[in-house]
Structure 1
Amino acid sequence: MDPASAADISAVDDGAGSSISTIHSDVIQTHILTRLDGPALASAACASAQLRRLCAEDDLWKNICAATWPSLDDPLVRDVISAFPNGHRSIFYDSFPSLQPLPSTKKHLYRPSPSTELISAVDMYYKDTPIFSKVQRTDTQTGWFLCSTLWVDLLDPKEFVPTPVKYVPKDEEWLKHLEDNLSLSWILIDPTRKRSGNLSSRRPVSVQRHWLTRDLEILYSVTVARDQMSSECLQCTIKVTCGGKAGGEMHVRGVSLMVEDMEGKSMTGRESLGILQRAMESAERTKVTQEEAKGRYEKFLGMKRQRRERKQRIEKATDIISVMIIILVFVFFCSFMLF
Structure 2
Amino acid sequence: MAANIQDLHPDILTCALRRLDGPSLAAVGCASSHLRSLSSDPSIWRDLCLSTWPSLGHPSLLSLLPMSQYQSFFASVFSFPCQFPQSQSLNPLVLPHKLISAVDLHHGENLIFSKVIELDTSSDWFLGSPFRIDTLEEQSSQLVSFTGDISLSELTLSWILIDPESKKALNVSSRRPVTIDRHWYTGETLVRYGMVIHDLLINIVVTCGEDGGHLRGVSMTIEDGDGIGVCGKESLEMLMKAMEATRKWKGNGKEEIEMSRRYDEFVRRRRSRKESKARKECFFDLCCTGVSAVIFLSCLVLVALR
Tell me if TM exceeds 0.5: yes
Partner of 1:156: 137
Query: Deviations along 1:57-90, whole A, 9 cap, x unmatched?
Result: 221011101111111111111122228xx42112
Matched, 1:217 2:168: no
* Distance in 1 of aligned mates of 2:281 and 2:185: 31
Shift of residue 51 of structure 1?
Answer: 2.7
Return closer, same or farther for 1:284/1:316 CA change in 2, 3 Å cut-off. farther
Aligned to 2:267, which of 276, 301, 310?
Answer: 301
Shift of 1:100: 4.4
Work out the CA distance in 1 between the residues paired with 2:63 and 2:177. Answer: 31
| SS at 1:122 equivalent | strand
Moved more, 258-267 or 306-315: 306-315
Matched, 1:41 2:14: no
CA 1:208 to 1:327, structure 2 compared with 1: closer, same or farther past 3 Å? closer
Deviates more, 1:147-156 or 1:262-271: 262-271
2:178–2:263 Cα contact (<8 Å) kept: yes
Q: Are 2:77 and 1:92 aligned?
A: no
Structure 1 partner of 2:175: 202
Whether the 8 Å contact between 1:119 and 1:137 is mirrored in structure 2 is yes
SS of equivalent residue, structure 2 residue 45: helix
Moved more, 278-287 or 215-224: 278-287
Q: Deviation at 1:151?
A: 0.7
Aligned-residue Cα RMSD (Å) equals 3.0
Give ranges in structure 2 of 5+ residues lacking alignment: none
Matched, 1:265 2:228: yes
Following superposition of structure 1 onto structure 2, how do residues 50-199 of structure 1 map, counting pairs within 5 Å?
50-82=34-66, 86-97=68-79, 99-102=80-83, 107=86, 112-158=93-139, 159-166=142-149, 177-179=151-153, 181-199=154-172
Structure 1 residues without counterparts, runs of 5 or longer: 1-13, 167-173, 227-232
Q: 1:193 to 1:289 in 2, by over 3 A?
A: closer
In the alignment, the residues of structure 1 paired with residue 241 and residue 261 of structure 2 have an alpha-carbon distance, to the nearest angstrom, of 24
TM-score (norm 2): 0.84
Tell me the equivalent position of 2:207.
241
Per-residue Cα deviation, 1:280-324 (whole angstroms, up to 9, x for no partner):
210544453655443322211110011122233444555666778
Quick one: distance in 1 between partners of 2:55 and 2:185? 33
CA deviation digits over 1:143-200, x for unaligned, max 9?
221011011000112131122144xxxxxxx8xx421x21111111111222111111
- Contact kept, 8 Å, 1:221 with 1:236, in 2: the verdict is yes
Displacement, 1:42? 1.0
Residues 124 and 269 (structure 1), Cα distance of their counterparts in 2 relative to 1, 3 Å cut? same
Cα 1:241/1:19, change in 2 over 3 Å: closer
Equivalents in 1 of 2:239, 2:295: separation in Å?
51
Mapped partners of 1:292, 1:205: distance in 2 = 11
1:279 — aligned with what? Answer: 242
Other structure's SS at 2:63 match: helix
- Listed one character per residue, the Cα deviations across residues 246-267 of structure 1 (whole Å, up to 9, x for unaligned) are xxx8111100001111122211
Aligned residues: 294
CA distance in 2, matches of 1:322, 1:217: 40
